[in-house]
């Protein structure tokens, strides 16, 4: 067995010299180096921005979405949507562990990878035949490879797997929000979360409150989401606005915050075009966390400059130490989060079939997928 590069550069097919995330194509060969781990894949979670782009491009045609995802994985050796630049993550069972892997994983463990699919060598061997193309979660068979410098979490046995997968996909958001809001704890920050009824948005609300924000404002797209969010009690205040309309968004945020902008604005919307609204909604000296993969660096930077806005802007790094554990803590402290996740992931927590969720473009409903999760206590972090 050879030793691979800890960062996976030996798996880059093209272009030469880049890291796996920037590669056009990765080597998905199942033979692992002595510091790699091979995972038997069971389910993928496509990134929300990526899935929405595919769904919109194919007008909700599940067969066409499935065909494009398969083609992308086969061509690139990884699930990396070139239009959104994003991927997602996966769950599976550890299949083989190289003798010099530092990850501490053991064969047979059920894990979630906490690194993006955009840099994870992946081969699918079932043609995604069990997926109808109409949900972010994809039942799949195949293998994936983890490098030495990687992260994975042993799946908590008390949570249904699809729920754990969806939570881990966005667990970087609440951990970063906690860090940013806690920095301002002395000033009792007003926090506005855009896309607040979504997965990363609802976890961010819970994190802002946990970090002792003075006011937690959830901004959602329509009255139906507003009612749903109000019922959870996760936000102190709820406002309705289209986050892609800067003037309307800023007015809704300042109205809801008694005439001032937010000290911290968190962008968890899965569509492009929210940069200027986020800048206008943020008070001077405030911070914007752009967690959304649909964020444009140039729109944010030039938009802030053009508005002479003195705001700090952070890219939502998906990795913050302890992020998966923290997301699980928030979930158990706020059961209302589970209901929102059920709704967003189209996965009922009781295993039953429920009503379909219609995507924003209204083209076709996403049927829900029943889940069957085992029960026990969380063990995230054991696998690092």
For ligand NAP, the binding residues (CB under 6 A) are 47-49, 86, 169-170, 172, 195, 197-201, 221, 225, 242-244, 268-271, 291-294, 316, 318, 344, 360
Do 314 and 180 contact (CB within 8 A), yes or no?
yes
Helices and strands in the chain, H and E counts: 11, 14
Min separation Cβ 110 and ligand NAP, Å = 21
By beta-carbon proximity to ligand NAP, the closer residue of 21 and 215 is 21
CA distances in angstroms from 46 to 26, 169, 339, 358, listed in the order given? 18, 9, 20, 17
Taken as a whole, the chain contains a residue count of 384
Compare residues 109 and 282 and give the one whose CB is closer to ligand NAP. 282
CB of 221: closest distance to ligand NAP in angstroms?
Answer: 4
Q: How far apart are CA 71 and CA 50, in angstroms?
A: 15
- Bridge partners for 128 per DSSP: none
Closer to ligand NAP by Cβ: residue 18 or 315: 315
Cβ neighbors of 58 (< 8 A, separation 6 or more) are: 64, 65, 68
| Bond into 15 cis (ω within 30) | yes
Q: How many CA atoms lie within 13 A of 95 on its CB side?
A: 16
Secondary structure of residue 153 in the 3-state scheme: strand
Shortest Cβ distance from residue 229 to ligand NAP (Å)?
9
The kind and range of the H/E element at 68 are helix 62-76
Q: Which helix (H) or strand (E) holds 276?
A: helix 275-280
Distance, in Å, from the CA atom of 188 to the CA atom of 167, rounded to the nearest integer, reads 27
Q: How far is the CB of 156 from ligand NAP (least distance, A)?
A: 19
> Residue 95 CB, nearest distance to ligand NAP (Å)?
25
Closest residue by beta carbon to ligand NAP: 198
Closer to ligand NAP by CB, 98 or 218: give it: 218
Strands 137-146 and 88-97: unpaired
Helix (H, G, I), strand (E, B) or coil at 167: helix
Helix crossing, 199-210 with 323-333: angle to 10°?
80
CB of 115 to ligand NAP, least distance (A): 10
Of the pair 59, 106, the CB lying nearest ligand NAP is at 59
What letter does residue 371 receive in the DSSP assignment?
Answer: -
Chain mean position to CA 330: 16
Residue 294 vs 324, nearer CB to ligand NAP: 294
Q: Which is nearer to ligand NAP, 38 or 368 (CB)?
A: 368
Q: Compute the radius of gyration of the chain from its Cα atoms.
A: 20
Q: Give the alpha-carbon dihedral of 199, 205, 211, 217, to 10 degrees.
A: 160
Min dist. Cβ of residue 240 to ligand NAP (A)? 9
For ligand NAP, give the closer residue by CB, 109 or 204: 204
Q: Which is nearer to ligand NAP, 110 or 344 (CB)?
A: 344
* Shortest Cβ 278–ligand NAP spacing (Å): 11
Q: In angstroms, give the least distance from the CB of 307 to ligand NAP.
A: 20
């Amino acid at each position: 067995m050879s030793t691979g590069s800890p960062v996976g550069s030996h798996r880059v097919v093209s272009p030469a010299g880049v890291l796996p995330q920037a590669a056009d194509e990765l080597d998905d060969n199942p033979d692992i180096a002595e510091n790699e781990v091979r995972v038997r894949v069971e389910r993928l979670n496509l990134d929300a921005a990526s899935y929405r782009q595919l769904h919109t491009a194919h007008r909700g045609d599940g067969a066409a979405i499935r065909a494009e995802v398969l083609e992308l994985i086969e061509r690139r050796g990884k699930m990396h949507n070139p239009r959104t630049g994003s991927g997602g993550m996966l769950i599976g069972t550890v299949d083989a562990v190289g003798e010099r892997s530092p990850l501490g994983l053991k064969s047979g463990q059920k894990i979630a990878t906490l690194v993006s699919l955009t840099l994870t060598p992946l081969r699918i061997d079932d043609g995604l035949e069990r997926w109808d193309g109409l949900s972010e979660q994809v039942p799949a068979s195949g293998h994936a490879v983890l490098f030495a410098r990687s992260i994975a979490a042993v799946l908590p046995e008390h949570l249904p797997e699809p729920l754990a997968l969806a939570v881990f996909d966005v667990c970087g958001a609440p951990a970063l929000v906690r860090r940013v809001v806690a920095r301002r704890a002395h000033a009792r920050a007003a926090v506005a979360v855009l896309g607040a009824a979504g997965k990363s948005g609802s976890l961010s609300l819970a994190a802002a409150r946990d970090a002792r924000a003075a006011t937690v404002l959830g901004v959602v797209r329509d009255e139906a989401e507003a009612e749903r969010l109000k019922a959870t009690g996760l936000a102190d205040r709820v406002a309705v606005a289209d986050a892609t309309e800067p003037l309307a968004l800023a007015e809704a945020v300042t109205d809801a915050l008694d005439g001032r902008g937010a000290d911290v604005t968190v962008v968890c919307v899965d569509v492009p075009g929210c940069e200027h609204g986020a800048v206008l909604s943020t008070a001077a000296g405030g911070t914007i966390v752009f967690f959304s993969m649909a964020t444009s660096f140039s729109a944010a930077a030039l938009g802030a400059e053009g508005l002479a806005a003195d705001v700090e802007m952070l890219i939502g790094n998906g990795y913050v130490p302890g992020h998966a554990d923290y997301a699980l803590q928030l979930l158990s402290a706020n059961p209302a989060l589970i209901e929102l996740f059920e709704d967003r992931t189209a996965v009922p927590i009781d295993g039953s079939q429920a009503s379909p969720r219609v995507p924003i473009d209204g083209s076709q409903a996403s049927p829900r997928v029943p889940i069957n999760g085992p029960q026990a206590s969380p063990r995230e972090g054991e696998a690092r």
